[in-house]
A and B are shown apart, each in its own frame.
Chain A
């Protein structure tokens, strides 16, 4: 009896929080912005789903505990109802009192949306009923066994994702002569009811079948002889390379533009990952290196820059990278003896100083002040390249994509090799405990400088590609938000993890580019991602194994293993 009473109390307090979260989502404007996107045309929009998510999730959470069926379901229902009461009350209040001069998003269209285009009082009742139902559904999801829950959730995610991709899928399907598929899937910028059911079914069945297929495949590979295994690995790698090379052709020009941004940030994140993920130095001024790379490239290659030498990109590149490494050393050297959090703030200061200097009138003769530098030639000196046999025409983003892919692959290989080398182990030791590392003979100063210089070089490489891609550089591009975006990518993916970087860049750069409405709330989401990841999953989505152990080492004494055992005294000086 007492257990269920406390569960109900918990349901009420969680319900209040859920209601507050829903009101926040409405007032901050994100719900209405997404209500323009149909998920299932005529049935539900993305904004509506967004508003439905909190009571669903909270209902699931509150009903997870307990043994008896009835109190758990009642708790979910109660929680939903409480949150519904809050939303309903707010709706009635906002319809009666005009608060638009304070909360600018509370507009008549928003209120109409909230009230399901009904009268405010009817709308309030509908909200109450809907939220209660959602809380109950969440509770049901917690009650049913996971072999039912998992396919259902995967199916819903599938429907949402496919409907979000509509603006890109539809034209591409048409290009590839698959108009029938496109006509079946989409009506009025969303899925039709029938196609939603089909998509749901495909994803649900997929989520049941996929683990079995994978397990069987893995078992067969494991049983095969070493020669065959090597062949399989080779073929997989080859397929991956072919896929990456063909990607811009499959994706089309708009998505290629998105891919270029994803690639650019992947490159930056690979560089920062060396500094933050490997060496454990939180650098908030990473944008400085990006800016230096861009400006150096522009100065050296643009015929109308203050230098006016107009070197070809590939000749300028070594100079740029060298310049970047030197900048990294000069910024790194003074700050190395600082403690972690001070180092973060100092590098942030350096980043801002760099931006302000590039912007200033004082250095206008060199960097052009607010006007920046124009006339940066494209990467290969020409605007268009035709690939002989395949007949591809590479221009704009598709032309930038290939060198960028090349740089990303190089950076990823270098980073991986470093990670498992003597240098990587020294960084590892340094990150875990600087004093102990020093005592075991790691030359902390030199290894920190090395991390800074390497990170700076990769950042500069990103800057160089960026300058040629835009054909110009402007100081406004290089603000602190770039540093924080790159940091968010690393945190989301998992510090020190290279697949994590790619996933992070896809989620944080690719998604906002695909969902234009999202762009406005991008920074809000980045902030939320940083906080939530640190609270819930500090090791990131695709964690690095060593890192994960570090963050969860409270349980038991960890073994030194392969990573700790090989620390021999490093040479001095």
Chain B
């Protein structure tokens, strides 16, 4: 959980490269999926967090203001309610990430087994600063809190897939093909 950037700044709420007016509708296929999701719960809003996960996966790896507006419309909520939820949960991104996202756990069990060296190696290979995105936009590096891989530390998460029991050589092998 918990991607923590090293130089926290206010989330960028206005996408600068997108001049199109807000779309209130979600893409049709996604909407159809959400229609199934809400049926799992006695109250529609309960599907909000799983729905935001699907939106983030399908709509650029982050939750843009327009996605928040579209979700608000879908769930019958105010956009600020959706923002309140999105901003509470570390897995939701308020800024677009790089093409690949590499998360490294730096909590205690991982730290004791060399997480700082893994972070340094990941930053070296990707050219991204810890908690930021590489200048070419290919990689974001997130520093994570405990991921439940304590007995197989250190670990990294590449685009949602765990890689565990890492050595620096493993990091080279895993990221080498992408960098």
Say if A and B assemble together.
no
Give the interface of B toward A (CB within 8 A). Answer: none
